[in-house]
Structure 1
Amino acid sequence: MSDQNGADQTRPTPTALPIVINAQYVKDFSFENPNAPQTLLPGQPAPQVSVGVDVRSQQVGDTLYEVVLEMRCEAKVGENTAFLVELSYAGLMTLQGLADEHIRPVLLIEGPRLLFPFARAIIADATRDGGYPPLMINPIDFSDLYRRQTAPTSTTA
């Protein structure tokens, strides 16, 4: 239905998102290239890369939270470490209008999902600047990571 000015009144009005990123920053960062130049010589086999991810959060104000995406990437050629990257990339986020039971999932799923592309770029740049092809980390299912972290653990007697 349109009013006299031709505006469409059937469209829902956009609502504000419950999460606002106030700041993003590198909290801690390390790149090690312990066996260079040997690992960079021509003819070296491709390194085996492992990637570890963790997410944590803390409340720093009434509706203000810090979300930290921690990533550790290690590349090995045989027993030798080619490179090691450790990054803690954080965001200062405001959450409003959420029920208490939704705050933790939003922080630990949506928070890192928003931070991930920036952390990925930092790691890709660091590995490239270290003499290797840029490490392009595949997208991460933070929803699945959250479910695994919060799943009840069974104990056996």
Structure 2
Amino acid sequence: MADDALTPDPGQPLANGADTAPAAGMISQYVKDLSFENPNAPAIYQTPEPPQIDVQFNIGTGQVGEEVHEVTLKIDVRAETGGQVAFIVDLTYAGLFGFRNVPADQIQPFLLGEAPRLLFPFGRRVLADAVRDGGFPPLLLEPIDFAQLYLQQSAQQGDVQAGVVGQA
């Protein structure tokens, strides 16, 4: 019973700054920009061959408050068939992420690896719905390992920086 008196109630914040455990989490998520173009309708629906689809991703981050960052997942899709554009979709899906007591060197890996992983399934659904609503079969993108992409890009940038330093 004495131990119970020393254990804080998990539902109550600790007093006087005693709550120092690192915490990161999503505050909200939203469509920031969505554009769907179907420039060759209705003729494009008569084309029997499936379209060639090009998908591009970009991740952006920005600090919007003392401990709040916005992460944007930009997905650009261009589908062409028979030399004509079938459809173009531009989606910017974003989320706000809050941090408390997180070391500064851990924020960027979270923003560029974990945050896009959390946003992707919801952005993927918005994109699939937009393509379906445009008269095409839903475009279901394969899951992406954003953490691995972040690690690869960090390693490449480290190699480039090491090469520049090594040449000096």
TM-score (norm 1): 0.83
Deviation at 1:98, TM superposition (A): 1.7
- Residue number among 72, 97, 102 corresponding to 1:68 in the alignment: 72
* Structure 2 residue 47 is the aligned partner of structure 1 residue 39: no
- Residue number among 130, 139, 142 corresponding to 1:138 in the alignment: 142
Distance in 2 of aligned mates of 1:32 and 1:148: 33
1:61 partner amino acid: G
**CA shift digits 1:121-145 (9 cap, x unpaired):** 0010011011100000000110232
Deviation at 1:110, TM superposition (A): 0.8
Distance in 1 of aligned mates of 2:149 and 2:92: 17
Distance in 2 of aligned mates of 1:108 and 1:144: 10
**CA shift digits 1:59-96 (9 cap, x unpaired):** 11111000000001111103211000000000011012
Distance in 2 of aligned mates of 1:147 and 1:39: 41
Number of residues of Structure 1 aligned to a counterpart in Structure 2? 144
Does the 8 A contact of 2:22 with 2:101 survive in 1? no
Instruction: Give the number of the structure whose residues are more often helix, by fraction.
Output: 2
Distance in 1 of aligned mates of 2:53 and 2:131: 12
Distance in 2 of aligned mates of 1:54 and 1:149: 13
Indicate the residue corresponding to 1:7 in structure 2.
none
Deviation at 1:149, TM superposition (A): 3.6
Q: CA RMSD in A?
A: 2.4
- Residue number among 21, 24, 42 corresponding to 1:19 in the alignment: 24
Unaligned runs of 5+ in 2: 2-9, 11-20
Indicate the residue corresponding to 1:128 in structure 2.
132
Deviation at 1:148, TM superposition (A): 4.0
1:36 partner amino acid: A
Indicate the residue corresponding to 1:10 in structure 2.
none
Indicate the residue corresponding to 2:105 in structure 1.
101
